[in-house]
Amino acid sequence: MSVRATAQAGILMIAAMMLVVWPAAAPAQQPPATPHAPFTIANHSVAPGQRLDVDLHVAAGPSDPATRVLVTVFHGVRPGPVLGLTAGVHGYEFAPILAAQRLLDVIDSMQLTGTVLLVRLANVAAFEERVPYVNPHDRKNLNRAFPGRADGTQTERIAWALTTEVVRRSDVLVELHSGDGAEWLEEFVGVYGGPLAARYDTARAVGLAFGLRNVIRYSMDTQQQIDSGRSLNRQAVADGKPTVLVEIGENGRRDTAFVEPIVNGVMNALRVLAMVDGAAQPARPDTRWFDSTASVSATATGIFTPAAARGYEVQKGGRVGTVRDYSGRVVEELVSPVNGYAIYGLAGPPVKAGESVVTIAVPAKEPF
């Protein structure tokens, strides 16, 4: 088979997969043939065809205050899958938070099959205090705290609320992120596969619906991968949910060019899942496929200068950045451990020993 024929066949296969993930929905304009049950969350009941904004209450702990997780439930007029969408796990990642606000005006429960659980803002304190990475009360990274604890610190209590009320009520989980306040990032989608991940075909189709050029497969091969510094994504994997990570935006920016692709991607994902009417847009033919990532960390604290603050090809042993001490002396030249594509990293200048400064995506031998 020629290269062109192989590529065409691959595109047709992807499009076919995207259109058969869930049984086709009835036309959205038609009333349901039979009534279906309300959706319940945190002692709230949402009738079919209704939207409800819910504050998931997170009680005060021994050393930090109460907080809330902001969720909107769109409960469709016909039964179907439950799609969980989470934004604002990191409070300084503004593009997904603003996209969630836009989705409030775009998703219509009366035109919906199934249910959308939209976490508009998971980490309220970090957002309000404009704190990258961590919660200002306990200085913990919410995206390393799952499944959390009902009696833990505020970060752990937020994680527990998200786990019990959102992740475990969803059939598919899409986690929306961007580059944080000091990170450059080339947009990509991560799809969770491997022997310990559920329904890779569904995750793959939903991930490709976002139309991003870079696609990374995270293969969950060992329980240690899932448990070590467990993120929200890996919590969803642990709970048996098809899981997708979407990363669009950088440096805490809130540009429309970052917000709109998230909104459009979510709506195309709803079409892929047959939750709204309309044909899904097929996967882009120029998709770049990556099969793992490698991280480079600094061993010294000081002033970091990245080799570049945008995506770039890198060879094994190639320089990815320099650390100088506060007197200007070079104390570390950081190099790549693999051939690949530098897809996100620290923009600098501050760096602490042990911090990852760049993540390199390793090209796949073929689409997967």
Which band of pLDDT confidence, cut at 50, 70 and 90, is reported for residue 107? very high
Task: Please report the pLDDT score of residue 206 as a whole number.
Answer: 98
Both 266 and 299 in a single domain? no
Tokens of 298: 């600094």
Both 220 and 326 in a single domain? no
Residue 272 neighbours by CB under 8 Å, 6+ apart: 18, 19, 21, 205, 206, 209, 280
**What distance in Å separates the CA atoms of residue 167 and residue 241, rounded to the nearest whole number?**
8
Q: What is the mean pLDDT of residues 284-303?
A: 96
Both 92 and 198 in a single domain? yes
Both 53 and 121 in a single domain? yes
Residues of the domain holding 129: 3-23+34-272
Picking from 270, 194, 246, the residue whose alpha carbon sits closest to that of residue 21 is 270
> What's CA 256's distance to the chain center, in Å?
18
- Is residue 18 pLDDT above 90, yes or no? no
Both 212 and 333 in a single domain? no
Task: Please report the pLDDT score of residue 35 as a whole number.
Answer: 64
Q: In the listed set 240, 272, 304, which residue is the last one of a domain according to the structure?
A: 272
Both 244 and 355 in a single domain? no
Picking from 267, 81, 84, the residue whose alpha carbon sits closest to that of residue 175 is 84
Q: In the listed set 221, 242, 272, which residue is the last one of a domain according to the structure?
A: 272
Residue 164 neighbours by CB under 8 Å, 6+ apart: none
Split into its structural domains, the chain has a count of 2
Counting residues of the chain whose pLDDT is more than 70, the rounded percentage is 90
Both 138 and 186 in a single domain? yes
Q: What is the CATH number of the domain that holds 126?
A: 3.40.630.10
Both 303 and 268 in a single domain? no
Q: Quick check: is 166 in a domain?
A: yes
Go through the chain and tell me how many residues it has: 368
Q: Quick check: is 336 in a domain?
A: yes
Both 147 and 200 in a single domain? yes
Q: In the listed set 237, 272, 307, which residue is the last one of a domain according to the structure?
A: 272
Q: Quick check: is 303 in a domain?
A: yes
Q: What is the CATH number of the domain that holds 310?
A: 2.40.50.100
Both 84 and 159 in a single domain? yes
Both 266 and 300 in a single domain? no
The amino acid at 310: R
Task: Please report the pLDDT score of residue 86 as a whole number.
Answer: 98
Task: Please report the pLDDT score of residue 7 as a whole number.
Answer: 38
Q: Quick check: is 14 in a domain?
A: yes
Q: Quick check: is 64 in a domain?
A: yes
Q: Quick check: is 28 in a domain?
A: no
Both 332 and 256 in a single domain? no
Q: Quick check: is 60 in a domain?
A: yes
- pTM, entire model: 0.89
Longest CA pairwise span in the chain (Å): 73
Classify residue 144 by burial, with Cβ atoms within 10 Å: 0-12, 13-18, 19+. Answer: middle
- Is residue 26 pLDDT above 60, yes or no? no
Q: Quick check: is 78 in a domain?
A: yes
pLDDT in tens, 191-239: 999 999 999 999 999 999 999 999 999 999 999 999 999 999 999 999 9
